[in-house]
Amino acid sequence: MKTLDCSKARDNDVAHEHNETRPGEGYPASSGLSRWIWIGLALIAGAVAALSFVYVKQRSSPSPAVPAPLTSFEGSETDPALSPDGERIAFVWDGGTGGPFELYVLEIDTRNPIALTSGLRSARHPAWSPDGRNIVFLRTLEGGDGEVVVIPARGGSEIRLSSLTDVHFLGVDWSPDGKHLALVDKGRPDESESIYLFSIEEETKQRLTTPLTAGSGDRNPVFSGDGRFLAFVRWWEGNRNEIYVLDLDQGHQRLVANFDGQTRGLDWLPDDSTLVFSAQWRGTLGLWRLPIEHGEPARLNYGENALGVTVSRSPSRLAFSQRHRDSNIWRVRGPAVTEPSPPS
């Protein structure tokens, strides 16, 4: 297996550094992280996203899961990814400015975020290595192309692993054995997006899926915990979505769900027999549970307006980003008052 020694890599993609940065500590979080979003009387409102998490309970649990907020920063936080031990969460945040998304890691117990990237191009879709030491993510480039980058989870230099060709449907996941990545790419710019298996040791890509027609594309690849299966979403024009499970040993894929809606996130529950996904479906945006063996999707009792979703195995935690309205009160100077003219 190829060793990812991030400490020796050259970071050519970081446009600038903060003066406060010390090697290995990551970029300090902006002071904007200390400001909480107040939702109340509104004159101007915009859609933002924040992170919440719950403990994944067994079906027989008598008490319902109650989400607890993880972040409430100014702006949008999305693309959550729980560490394998469930103690940290990686996510991207636009800094409250609507600018490029940067990669952060948050200690769930201390709520102390560390910025790992800083640049002019957005970082998206982080995924953890199985040992929790590194994070792989995707960076958007000019012209619609992208690249696959890995960085130490505690901060450090980046390693560029691969390029991506004109990809619109993004997603990446790290295999449980640490040897491969599942990612979205194209063989040629005029092809639909497919799922590829990237060998970290050989630095080669193997196509795993092929959409049947134009106007479709595959995204959201996620490995099962035992590494035997890969779930993914196939998008069609008109927002029709299909969820497939690919047997990596046998090479055949099986359709497990087909619906008219937009899937925003996908992951496995710890039993490796059930998927959880976030989707705009049946008139609502929320979280759904899907057994892969002859099951029907069932709406969870939490996760309204959920976007991305992520699950850790031990402890069993589930985190999701949630879209809501950021409403603020603005003050402006009133119109000028003209003094009345004295009587003549």
CA distance 89 to 50: 13
Higher pLDDT, 231 or 261: 231
pLDDT at 270 > cutoff 50:
yes
Q: Quick one: tokens of 114?
A: 């560390």
What is the rounded average pLDDT of the residues 96-108? 92
Residue 14 has pLDDT above 60, yes or no: no
Q: Which helix (H) or strand (E) holds 69?
A: strand 68-69
**Coil, helix or strand for 162?**
strand
> For residues 217 and 193, is the Cβ–Cβ distance under 8 A?
yes
Distances (CA, A) of 227 to 118, 175, 177, 247: 33, 6, 7, 9
156 — pLDDT class (breaks 50, 70, 90): very high
Over residues 40-49, the mean pLDDT reads 39
Note the pLDDT tens digit of each residue in 71-101.
Answer: 888 889 999 999 999 999 999 999 988 889 9
Stated length of the chain? 344
Q: Which has the higher per-residue pLDDT, 277 or 328?
A: 277
* Summary mean pLDDT of the chain: 80
